[in-house]
Every structure is written in C-alpha cells, then in structure tokens.
Amino acid sequence: MLEREIEQKLKDGGAALVGFCEIDESPIKGQGNLKYAVSIAYKLSDAVLKTIEDRPSIMYFQHYRAVNARLDQLSLDVVKMIEDEGYNAFPIAASQSTNDDKSAYRGVFSHKKAAVLSGIGYIGKSCLLLTKEYGSKVRFATVLTDMQLISQRQKITGGCGSCTVCRDNCPAGAISGIEYAEGMSRDDFFDAAKCSDHMKSYKDIGRGAVCGICIKVCPKNKLR
Ligand code: SF4
Ligand code: SF4
C-alpha cells in the first residue's frame, strides 16, 4: 500500500502528521481528475513561537520560511513517489502568497480542507487548523493526485468551546469568536482581509507577511 510508504518517507523527513483523503471534486482546472490528496503537517518550534509577544519576531519570520521550504521539499518527494507509480501529482506550495483573485485571500487549494478531510484536525475560531497532537503549531503542504488514496484516519470533530483567547488577543480584530461549523464560509467567522492588512504592517520583520499571535496564545498549544 503506497499510503504507508508515503507516510514513512514523510515522517523520515520530519513531517509531524500525514493524512490522505478524497476531495469532492478535482480542484485544479485543466489538470484531470486530481481528486485525492496527501496532507502534510510540519510542527513549528516551541522555542521560536515563544519569541512572538505582542508582535511577531524576525526569528519567527525566518522559521516560518524555513518550515515552508521543508514542506515544499517533502511535497516533491511525494510527487516523485506518485509519478514513479505512473500517476499525476500536483504539489500545492506551503505558502500560497498569490492567486488569480488577490482580493479573495485564498490559495489555489485549501491546505485546511485536505487536513480536515484527512482526519488531521479541525478548524478553530482562529481559522487555524487545530490538531490533537500539536494544536495549531503546524504548517501544511498538500499534494493532489489522481492516484487513489485511502484515508487512514477518522475525521476529527472538536471545537473551541467557550474559549475566546485568540479573538481577545488578535491585534487586527480579524477573529469574530464564532465557532466554525461544517459548511460555513470562512467569511462567516474570520476576516482574512483584516488579518492580511495587519500582517503587512510589520514592515520591519522580513517582508511583513507573518504575525502568529493567534498561534502563540492558543491554550491548545501548550508551548514547552
Ligand atoms: S495572524 Fe495575527 S492578525 Fe491574523 S488572525 Fe492571527 S493574531 Fe490576528
Ligand atoms: S485560542 Fe481558544 S478559541 Fe482560539 S483557536 Fe485556540 S482554543 Fe480556539
């Protein structure tokens, strides 16, 4: 079973969590039937997350980029394994900074969608994917493919309960505090434009494109 080999390869490369799923429809136009996905999660460093206080740090910016680069490398390993089996594989970059409609603040495919369908976690009030093992201290990449992949995990249900810590600490006012429920649109509980605009205000930190306060403060993250 290739799922097991893919998972082992990714874990050997440092992935924290790996999942597989079938998507309702092929998400990339003109690319055939890419309706299966490998979801790859890489854990962020607790020590680096601690450097975020009321604003992000340059150490977090650098770490964020390094983790994205590692995720993209892991995706390439998966692409090779799948192509060697004679199927198509399409890597979705860990950080999708642009898409056709920039005002939509969306990448070409949602890593969170693949992670939820794969049973890796659920969406919290912060709009971050919360995992049982690491809370939201994870970043994601996804590989889409036309090779049938069978999910190895049950979908996780969960929620934030009465917690509103991320809403109370978000400097942009982007988090409404409304609990996400299946089928809800992101705009119903999270203001991506406010988050993005705020991140751009940190011009002295890299390109001013990270924040991370909602990760730092989430009680499900239990920083070491
Ligand atoms: S990244 Fe920062 S601005 Fe965006 S939702 Fe989280 S705390 Fe708010
Ligand atoms: S801080 Fe609280 S409300 Fe926000 S994602 Fe974490 S558990 Fe959910």
Q: Which has more confidence, 190 or 24?
A: 190
Could you tell me if residue 50 is inside a domain?
A: yes
As given in the structure block, the two tokens for residue 57 are 């740090």
Residue 129 inside a domain? The answer is yes
Quote the tokens at residue 75. 């995706």
| 223 in a structural domain | no
Hey, how many other C-beta atoms are within 10 angstroms of the C-beta on 13? 15
For residue 207, how far is its CA from the centre of ligand 1 (angstroms)? Answer: 16
Distance CA 166, CA 124 (A): 10
Question: Is 85 within the bounds of a domain?
Answer: yes
Token reading at 43: 């854990």
Residue that has been written with the tokens 């969608």 in this structure: 113
The residue contributing the CA closest to ligand 1 atom 4 is: 195
Distance spanning both ends of the chain, measured CA to CA: 36
* Domain carrying residue 10: 2-217
| Angstrom distance (rounded) from CA 93 to CA 73 | 10
Task: Output the residue whose Cα is nearest ligand 2's atom 4.
Answer: 166
User: What would the pLDDT profile of 25-75 be if each residue is shown by its tens digit?
Assistant: 878 888 889 999 999 999 999 999 999 999 999 999 999 999 999 999 999
Predicted confidence (pLDDT) per residue in 172-218, tens digit: 999 999 999 988 999 999 999 999 999 988 888 877 688 999 999 99
> 201 C-alpha vs ligand 1 centroid, how far in Å?
12
128 within domain boundaries: yes
Token pair listed for 21: 């799923």
Position 222 in a domain: no
Residue of 123, 130, 163 to mutate, ligand 2, most atoms within 8 A of C-beta? 163
Q: Where are the alpha helices (DSSP H) in the chain?
A: 2-12, 46-49, 58-84, 111-117, 165-169, 192-199, 213-217
What spacing in Å lies between the alpha carbon of 171 and ligand 1's midpoint? 7
The model's pLDDT over 94-141, given as tens digits with 9 standing for 90+, comes to 987 655 555 667 888 999 999 999 999 999 999 999 999 999 999 999
Alpha carbon distances (Å) from 145 to 17, 20, 22: 19, 11, 10
Q: Tokens standing for 195?
A: 């988050």
| 214 class by beta-carbon count within 10 Å (0-12 exposed, 13-18 middle, 19+ buried) | buried
Q: Measure the CA–CA gap between 46 and 151, rounded to whole angstroms.
A: 29
Residue 224 lies in a domain: no
Domain count within the chain: 1
